[in-house]
Amino acid sequence: MPTPIDTRLLTLTQWLSPAFPTGAFAYSHGIETAIHKGWIADENCLENWLRDCLKDGSGRADAIWLRLAHSSDDPLEIDAKARSFAVAQERLREADRQGAAFVATVNAVWDLDLLEMILPVAVGRAARLTGLDVDATVALYLQAFVTNLASAAIRLSPIGQTAGQRVIQRLQVLCLEVAEETKTVDADDVYSNAFFSDIASMVHEILEPRLFQS
C-alpha cells in the first residue's frame, strides 16, 4: 500500500510555492543591488550570499519570528517587534506587502480571520490556526526564501537556470540546520550579521534603473 500524504504537507507546499499570490517575484531582497555592484557575479557568489542570509541574516530572523508567531497568543505583538528590526524601508515594505497578500489569500481560501502582518509572522500564525507543524513550516519557509532569491538572480542574468537549481539544492541542508537551531530561541536572539545584504537593501532605494521593488 502506498504511504498516504498528509494534506497538511500539501497545504504548506501550496502556501510557500512561487505560484502563491504574494508577489514574491517583484522583490529581490537587495540582490539586484548586489549584482549591479558586482558583489554577486556567479554561482558561488550567489550561494555564499544566500548562506549568509540564511545563517546570519534575514532568513534566520524570519525563522524566529515565524516560530514566535506560531507559539504566541498575541501575534500582533510579535509583528510589531519584527517590524522594528527591519533594516531598510524597502525590506519592511517587502515583508509588509507580501504578508498582506498572504493574509488576504489564506483568509479567503482557508476561511481564517487573520489581521495583516508581515510575511513570516502571518505564515506562523496561519500555521498555528490550521494545525500545521511549526518545524516543517520553518524549513519549507526557508527553502522558499532561498528559491525566490535564486529566481531573482536568474532573472537578473548572472547565473543560469541549472546553476540556480544547484545553489538551491546545496542549501537544503542549511535550511534544515537553521530550522533546527531556531527551535529554542526568542526575540532577544534576533540579529543580522549579513551586512552586505542589509547595505544592499538600503542602497536599492536609490538604485536606477531597477527591475525589482527591493
Per the domain annotation, does 16 fall within a domain?
no
pLDDT at position 4? 53
pLDDT at 5 over 80: no
Q: Tell me how many domains the chain contains.
A: 1
Per the domain annotation, does 209 fall within a domain?
no
pLDDT at position 1? 42
DSSP state, residue 16: T
CATH number (domain holding residue 42): 1.10.4190.10
Residue 49 in grid coordinates: 550570499
**Domain that includes residue 152, residue range:** 26-203
The answer to whether 201 and 29 have CB atoms below 8 angstroms apart is yes
Q: Tell which wins on pLDDT, 6 or 58.
A: 58
Per the domain annotation, does 15 fall within a domain?
no
Per the domain annotation, does 167 fall within a domain?
yes
pLDDT at 207 over 70: yes
pLDDT at 208 over 90: no
Per the domain annotation, does 5 fall within a domain?
no
Closest among 191, 170, 171 to 182, alpha carbons compared = 191
pLDDT at position 134? 97
Per the domain annotation, does 132 fall within a domain?
yes
Per-residue pLDDT reduced to its tens digit, 62-114: 999 999 999 999 999 999 999 999 989 999 999 999 999 999 999 999 999 99
